[in-house]
Amino acid sequence: MLFLPFLWWLTVPLLVGYQLARTARRMARRVYPVHPEGHVEDPEVLRVQRVRAWVALAMSGVLVAVFGGWQDVAEAQEQFLLRLLFAPWLALLSAAVVVALLFWVARPGRGGPCGRGCGRSAGRPCATSVPGRWCRCCSQRRPRG
């Protein structure tokens, strides 16, 4: 700042921003430690993940080589802005559709064959309740024997 006096106005924001970033990092490390207690790293799992990543990269290359050519690589670069524009919106839309589908599947009353969530089929007693007791989900008493 001494060599560039016209940037003196950046001093206070930089000092405040630096302290804020350090505090945020310290709090994040406290909440989400790098090596959490009880966390075990399995070398075999890491090896499998590494192999899977390399195989995916190789298969991508094979697919481009078999079904495409160098013009496809150039075309992919040309379509970068198009993908950058549409990808977030498609991700948001597909996430909303998936969440709506999950809510539809998990709505109350869709549990078992009877539609009451207990596994009771039409005309039969609840399969999840104990004989002689009330079923928690459909309030039906299961007959004894």
Contact by Cβ (8 Å): 136, 130: no
Give pLDDT, residue 103. Answer: 85
Q: Which two tokens stand for residue 129?
A: 């309740």
Residues of the chain with pLDDT under 70: 1-4, 73, 108-145
Contact by Cβ (8 Å): 145, 125: no
Give pLDDT, residue 125. Answer: 53
Half-sphere exposure of 93 (CA within 13 A, CB side): 5
pTM to 2 decimals? 0.32
Crossing angle of helices 80-105 and 70-78, in 10° steps, is 80
Give pLDDT, residue 110. Answer: 52
Contact by Cβ (8 Å): 128, 111: no
Tens-place pLDDT, residues 16-25: 888 999 999 9
Tens-place pLDDT, residues 101-130: 888 877 765 544 444 445 544 455 555 555
Residue type, 15: L
